Amino acid sequence: MHRYFSDEEAIIFTLLLLVFFLVIIFFSRMLAPFLVSVVMTFLLQSVVNTLQRFRMPRLPAVIIAFSLFLGFLLAVLFWLLPLIWQQILSLARELPGMVRAAQVWFVEMQSAYPQFLSQQHIDQIFTEASGELRKLGQWLVGLSLSSIPSLVAWLIYLILVPILVFFMLKDQEKLVAYVSSLMPEKRTLLSRVWNEMDDQITNYIRGKAIEILIVAGVTWACFVWLGLGYAELLALLVGFSVLVPYIGAAVVTIPVALIALFQFGTSSDFLWVMAVYGLIQLLDGNVLVPLLFSEAVNLHPVSIILAVLVFGGLWGFWGVFFAIPLATLLKAIFHAWPKLHTEDAAD
């Protein structure tokens, strides 16, 4: 205690961290619009900075960046979301046929390799699959019946988020100055951690957004070119899978392989789909990620997976999204934390 908490600033910083994590844990659902607004502000701030480098005044730069954000938001609402929802409903209608086709394939495999599969195992697998399909149908019906309160909540978010984003961009300096005025006058530790994390968090959010757009766009173009069904839905899943390093790509491989197998069977078209998908994952991990995150702090893969599990379990989607920045933040705090040396403590 004397070694790590002898500095008064360390105690204050510990209390600030405790308050921050408690607020996020207990009020994360209420703070969801604010979290979305913070992410959008980080993304749009890069656009504002780029326009200001061309000698444009801040207010016109903010208006242009905010207009781009509104245009993107309207495109998602009135084009992408209805398209994805239609594909989800279409896939739900085709799932029973997929299950029957899979059952026929399993029976053929059981006849060819009876030592690996038994009829009892096949019956058990498809009994459970039928039960899951019924649950899915009940969930879709319940979703449609309970859509009115959810729609009201989404409408509130759609009003709050653009307002918050605009004022965060417009009054960024005032907000930062106000928050700074609430901090202790002696804030060497806070300044060291903030200086180390500011650029990294900005680069991470911007890099992840670019990575999602590139991976989803390339996946969609390749799947359309190969004639694979549900290309938009699968591309969206593949794009968001980059949020969970190592695990996301492995999980999304399952729906891609199942839909391709149902549509093409074990033909060469199926092999082409899986080869192209594997190539996209390979280029993403070995080319795109090093280019976008060259300035990121190196974290061990075990640390990344542990951060995803812990923060994802605490805060769901936002915990997964911010898992790597939060792990980097903890690492920065650990290195910046003031502590007495052994000889000082002895004195």
Q: Is 55 among the domain residues? A: yes
Smallest Cα–Cα separation from 242: which of 331, 329, 328, 324? 324
- DSSP state for residue 214 in the 8-state scheme: H
Instruction: Identify the domain boundary among 137, 168, 185.
Output: 185
Say how far apart CA 286 and CA 274 lie, in whole Å.
18
Instruction: Give yes or no for a contact between 256 and 238, defined as CB atoms under 8 angstroms apart.
Output: yes
pLDDT in tens, 226-253: 999 889 999 999 998 888 777 788 888 8
Same domain, 125 and 247: no
More confident position, 336 or 285 = 285
Structure tokens at 323: 């898992």
What's the structural domain count of the chain? Answer: 2
Q: Is 347 among the domain residues? A: no
Q: Is 345 among the domain residues? A: no
Q: What integer pLDDT is reported at residue 342 of this predicted model?
A: 46
Same domain, 317 and 204: yes
Same domain, 219 and 322: yes
Say how far apart CA 347 and CA 344 lie, in whole Å.
5
Instruction: Identify the domain boundary among 151, 185, 219.
Output: 185
Q: Name the range with the highest mean pLDDT among 41-55, 72-86, 120-134, 223-237.
A: 223-237
Same domain, 145 and 243: no
Residues of the chain above pLDDT 90, percent: 14
Same domain, 239 and 177: no
Say how far apart CA 297 and CA 187 lie, in whole Å.
23
pLDDT in tens, 203-212: 777 888 888 9
Average pLDDT score over residue span 163-179? 86
CB burial of residue 273 (10 Å; 0-12, 13-18, 19+): buried
Q: Is 226 among the domain residues? A: yes
pLDDT in tens, 151-161: 667 777 888 88
Query: DSSP 3-state assignment of 296?
Result: coil
Same domain, 207 and 300: yes
Say how far apart CA 96 and CA 290 lie, in whole Å.
42
pTM: 0.75
Same domain, 56 and 87: yes
Q: Is 231 among the domain residues? A: yes
Same domain, 51 and 98: yes
Q: Is 329 among the domain residues? A: yes
Instruction: Identify the domain boundary among 185, 209, 228.
Output: 185
Same domain, 53 and 179: yes
Range of the domain at 27: 1-185
Same domain, 29 and 175: yes
Say how far apart CA 241 and CA 231 lie, in whole Å.
15
Q: How do the residues of the chain divide into helix, strand and coil, expressed in percent and rounded to 5?
A: 85, 0, 15
